[in-house]
Amino acid sequence: MFVKQLSVFLENKEGRLDEVLKILASANVNLLSACIADTSDYGVLRLIAEEPEKGKAALKEAGFTSRIDEVIAVVVPNAVGSFAKVVSTLHEANINISYIYGISLNENGAPIVVKTSDNAKAASILEAAGVKTLAL
């Protein structure tokens, strides 16, 4: 139901993303998705990874600030209006969406990562509404 997300603080400087990815690769951490929320002088790199704790430890060793949060990965069927249904379900339950991003597309649908103001409530409401969520 929940997915662990590894987020990393990055200065907006040349080569920082490259360095983080190299650290994770040499720690043998496999990435499933990545997205960056950026501002003019820094960014927050959000990763869905296998063994995020291992990734966090490797990053800490190298001096990077990172953390692990639980997010929800909802599986949105490949059909018109299916994501709208997810969003309105949460909206009607008064749950705020902090951010969303997609993972990848396959024939079953597109998993979309959603961080909300109340993940536990959101997950059970989505489940009740027949929305499939992933557990990795």
Regarding 57 and contact with another protein (CB under 8 A), the answer is no
Classify residue 79 by its DSSP letter. S
By CB under 8 A, name the one of 53, 99, 108, 128 that touches another protein.
Answer: 99
> Contact region for another protein (CB under 8 A) — 5-13, 25-33, 75-83, 86-94?
5-13
Sequence-distant (6+) residues with CB within 8 A of 121 are: 93, 95
In order of 22, 53, 70, the CA distances from 115 in angstroms are 26, 19, 8
Distance CA 126, CA 133 (A): 8
**Comparison of 42 and 120: residue with beta carbon closer to another protein:** 42
Residue 49 pairs with which residues in a beta bridge?
Answer: 31
Regarding 81 and contact with another protein (CB under 8 A), the answer is no
Regarding 133 and contact with another protein (CB under 8 A), the answer is no
> Contact region for another protein (CB under 8 A) — 23-31, 34-42, 77-85, 125-133?
34-42
Instruction: Look at the block and give the residue holding tokens 């190298």.
Output: 62
In the complex, which residues of this chain contact another protein (CB under 8 A)?
5, 7, 9-11, 16, 37, 39, 41-42, 44, 46, 63-67, 69, 98-99, 115
